């Protein structure tokens, strides 16, 4: 079923979309081009009064994020020419317009004691050792922040589910459209912010800002097929993957240029000490993106090539590698535990089912220990059912625009964000 929503249109440019099940339109406002994308979703557009945070031990969050800005940190050039995040307390960053008090994330839940990963009963304490011994990212010499993040996800796995929200960039309010909607509707912010290198502009900066605010950035990449251009439509083009993997071909040269361009952005995050839930080649075993149009063996080589290039040549040791299946996980496409930190799957069903079968299908491939994420969704899984049935997703990632505002009712959003099983940004420990 194709979802074409009039709210995506920035002008009345006629559309001639290619039909695909469960796709929605992905618009680039600057060109008014319609680009397909998968997505997650409130039935009415009403808003509720915004409760204020600031209880003892909890971080105060903005009463409303300004349009197009997510409490941007002040950035100064580092010696290497890459951004260096400066503590707002040291720079006099003005937060008066957002209601933000630039505090380190607290570790105390005023109602029930210590949050996961914090010393019991100690507001604002440094994070305790979390995740247990032996939990380490697959990245070589992983940064402390990446280790903290993965350890935290292991510590909450099976106990809690983190909230996540994908951003768009073309709606009123810019890239904060969805974040503002969630906060206005529920009074809370998601723990994980989803971003996309389909357009590099501002992505790294928003990811850094989200980390400074106390949240977790998750970045995917709608990568245009090498030699076929950029953007969503290009990501669906077919290309000879064997040639992509063969040095000396035009396809290989184009692939390397794409990897280098993306590595440049990820390096900004590494140099700012920001870990990333990195989700390349999402929906890998589907047949709609170029990386899924070949054989499982070719995909495994492609994944491992990116991993080894980013980890070795580029030194991107701030990445948590997230493998994102479709709703039908297939073990033949698994690159191996030494290349993957977290695995997941996605679905755009018409109910709030926790999708236990899909959850178990991923676990049957990666085992019972590795956290499993609902890396994209339409209607957010019912946390009560997820907890009762044992569909213990590490996090969910609601897709953007109408998937959020039309597919999920405001009542459902409030039930999810208020549920004790769900972690929101204000409940995250200090992972810095």
Catalytic residue list contains 167: no
Confidence of residue 135 (pLDDT cuts 50, 70, 90): confident
pTM as predicted:
0.75
Task: Return the closest-CA partner of residue 249 out of 226, 229, 225, 224.
Answer: 226
CA distances from 100 to 52, 66, 133, 401 (A): 11, 11, 36, 25
- Under 8 Å CB-to-CB from 310, ≥6 apart: which residues? 259, 263, 266, 316, 319
Q: Provide the token pair at 263.
A: 């590595």
Q: Are 206 and 229 in contact (CB under 8 A)?
A: no
**Mean pLDDT of all residues in 99-128:** 31
| DSSP assigned state of 333 | G
Higher pLDDT, 249 or 17: 249
Catalytic residue among 167, 178, 251, 376: 376
CA distance 88 to 59: 15
Chain segment 69-100, per-residue pLDDT in tens: 433 333 333 333 333 333 333 323 233 333 23
CA-CA distance, 314 to 259, in Å (whole number)? 10
Q: Which of 283, 369, 407, 420 is catalytic?
A: 283
CB 302 within 8 A of CB 244: yes
Region 405-419 average pLDDT: 98
pLDDT tens string 256-269: 999 999 999 999 99
- 126 is a catalytic site residue: no
């Amino acid at each position: 079923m194709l979802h074409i929503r009039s709210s995506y249109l920035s002008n009345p440019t006629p559309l001639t979309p290619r039909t695909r099940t469960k796709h929605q339109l992905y618009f680039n406002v600057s060109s008014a081009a319609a680009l397909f994308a998968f997505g997650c979703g409130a039935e009415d557009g009403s808003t509720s009064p915004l409760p204020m945070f600031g209880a003892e031990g909890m971080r105060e969050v903005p009463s409303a994020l300004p349009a197009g800005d997510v409490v941007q940190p002040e950035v100064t050039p580092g010696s290497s020419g890459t951004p260096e995040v400066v503590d707002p307390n040291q720079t006099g960053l003005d937060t008066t317009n957002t209601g933000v008090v630039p505090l380190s994330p607290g570790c105390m839940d005023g109602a029930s004691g210590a949050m996961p990963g914090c010393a019991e009963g100690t507001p604002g304490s440094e994070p305790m050792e979390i995740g247990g011994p032996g939990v380490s990212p697959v990245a070589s010499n992983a940064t402390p922040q990446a280790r903290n993040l993965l350890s935290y996800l292991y510590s909450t796995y099976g106990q809690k589910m983190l909230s996540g929200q994908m951003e768009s960039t073309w709606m009123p309010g810019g890239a904060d459209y969805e974040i503002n909607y969630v906060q206005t509707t529920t009074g809370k912010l998601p723990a994980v912010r989803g971003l996309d290198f389909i357009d590099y502009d501002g992505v790294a900066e928003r990811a850094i800002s989200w980390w400074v605010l106390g949240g977790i950035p998750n970045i995917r990449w709608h990568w245009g097929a090498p030699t076929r251009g950029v953007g969503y439509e290009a990501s669906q083009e077919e290309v000879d993957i064997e040639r992509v993997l063969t040095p000396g071909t035009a396809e290989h040269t184009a692939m390397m240029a794409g990897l280098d361009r993306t590595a440049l952005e990820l390096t900004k995050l590494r140099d700012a000490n920001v870990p990333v839930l990195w989700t390349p080649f999402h929906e890998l075993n589907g047949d709609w993106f170029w990386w899924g149009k070949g054989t499982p063996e070719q995909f495994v080589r492609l994944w491992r090539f990116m991993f080894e290039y980013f980890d070795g040549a580029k030194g991107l040791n701030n990445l948590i590698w997230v493998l994102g299946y479709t709703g039908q996980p297939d073990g033949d496409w698994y690159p191996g535990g030494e290349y993957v930190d977290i695995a997941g799957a996605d679905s755009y069903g018409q109910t709030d089912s926790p999708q236990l079968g899909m959850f178990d299908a991923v676990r049957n491939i990666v085992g019972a220990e590795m956290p499993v994420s609902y890396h994209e969704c339409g209607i957010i899984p019912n946390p009560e059912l997820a907890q009762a049935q044992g569909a213990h997703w590490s996090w969910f990632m609601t897709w953007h625009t109408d998937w959020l505002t039309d597919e999920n009712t405001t009542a459902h959003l409030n039930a999810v964000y208020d549920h004790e099983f769900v972690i929101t940004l204000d409940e995250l420990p200090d992972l810095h």
